[in-house]
Amino acid sequence: MHFQTFIDYLLLEKNYSKLTIRAYQSDLEAFQNFVKNKYDSTSIKKVNYPQIRTWIVSLVESGVSNRSINRKISSLNSYYKFLLKVEDINQNPLSKHKALKTSKKVQVPFSEEEIKTVLDELNFDDSFKGIRDKLIIELFYSTGIRRIELVELKLASMDIHNKTIKVHGKRNKERIVPLLNSVKETLQDYILVRNGLPEIKDSDHLFLTKKGVKIYETLVYRVINDYFSQASSKVKRSPHILRHSFATHLLNQGADINAVKELLGHTSLAATQVYTHNSIAELKKVHLKAHPRSLK
C-alpha cells in the first residue's frame, strides 16, 4: 500500500518539514510490515485496536522506549484521522487509545563557563573548517536555532548590514533573528573562506563541506559533540543542548519569556516553559541571597 496521498497532505496542506514527513512514512511502513507478517494483510486501513495493541506489545518487548512508541502511534493516529477526513474509513481504531507513560526528559544545559571555554579558549584555526565550526557553535548559542534550520540556512538569508538572519522553521514558518556583533564578524570571515573553496556545488546554502556541498545533520552534531567534549563532562552534547542553553541563559538574565518564545520559533508558550525550570532554580538562589529575611 502507498501512503502518497497522506504524504502530499502533510507536505502541501500541513506544511510539515521533509524530516518530519520521513518519520511519518517510516512509522507507517513499519506498521504495514508488521501487519503483513503477523496477519498476512497488505492493508492497514482495516486493522482493529487489538491488532495495533499487539504491535505496541512487540515494540515494548523489543526494547523500544515508550517515548518512541508514542511517536509511532501518533503517526498512525494522524493517518487514520486523515482517512476519516477523506471518508476512506468509518472509524479510527485509535480513537480511545491512551499514550504510554513516559518519564520527563531532563535537558541539562551547558553552563555559561562551559560555553565560554569552548568559544574563548579552544583552538579554532584560520582554516575553512575552523572558521565554519566556530560559526556553527556561535550561531546555535546566539540565536537558538534548530539543527535542521541551521543546515537549511541560505546565503540570501543573511543580512549582515542589519545584523539579522531569516530562519525557516517548522511548517515553513519564517522568523527574523538578530545577530550579535561577534557573530557578524565570524560570519564575514566564514563567507570569505567559503568563497575561496576550490569548487562550490551548492551556491545557495550558507554552510558547506570542504567539497562545496551542503552540510548534513550528522556533521553538525559531530562538530558540537567534538568541541564540547573538551569542555564539558555532560553525557549529552548536542545542538539541541546548545538551543536549550540559549533559552535558559536568556531567561536566567531576566529576558521576557514571550521574547524567548519568538526567538525560538515556538507556536505556543507551553513549549517555551520547559526551559524555565533552570531559571526558577537561579531565581531561588537570587531570592535566598538577597531577601532580608533569608538566613545568611
List 147, 205, 249, 266, catalytic entry: 266
The single residue of 72, 147, 237, 243 carrying the catalytic annotation is: 243
- Catalytic residue, chosen from 36, 168, 170, 236, is 170
pLDDT at site 13: 87
- Let me know if 197 is exposed, middle or buried by CB neighbors in 10 A (0-12, 13-18, 19+): middle
**pLDDT of 1:** 45
User: d(Cα 20, Cα 10) in Å, to the nearest integer?
Assistant: 9
pLDDT digits (tens, 9 = 90+) for 175-207: 999 999 999 999 999 999 999 999 999 999 999
Reported pTM:
0.68
The active-site residue, picked from 97, 166, 234, 240, is 240
Q: Please identify every stretch of the chain with a pLDDT value under 70, giving residue numbers as ranges.
A: 1-2, 104-106, 276-287, 290-296
CATH number of 4-85: 1.20.1420, 1.10.3470, 3.30.70, 1.10.150? 1.10.150
The CATH number of domain 112-287, selected from 1.10.10.10, 1.10.1660.10, 1.10.443.10, 3.30.500.10: 1.10.443.10
pLDDT for res 92: 95
Using CB atoms within 10 A of its CB, is residue 170 exposed (0-12), middle (13-18) or buried (19+)? middle
Catalytic residue flag (residue 39): no
* Euclidean distance between CA atoms 149 and 2, whole angstroms: 29
266 is catalytic: yes
Exactly one of 72, 132, 146, 249 is catalytic; name it: 146
Q: Is 293 a catalytic residue?
A: no
2 belongs to the catalytic site: no
User: Contact, 242 vs 114, CB < 8 A?
Assistant: no
Q: Which of 80, 141, 227, 275 is catalytic?
A: 275
Q: Do 152 and 18 touch, CB atoms closer than 8 A?
A: no
**What is the pLDDT at residue 293?**
65
- Asked about 205 being catalytic, the answer comes back as no
Please state the domain extents for the chain.
4-85, 112-287
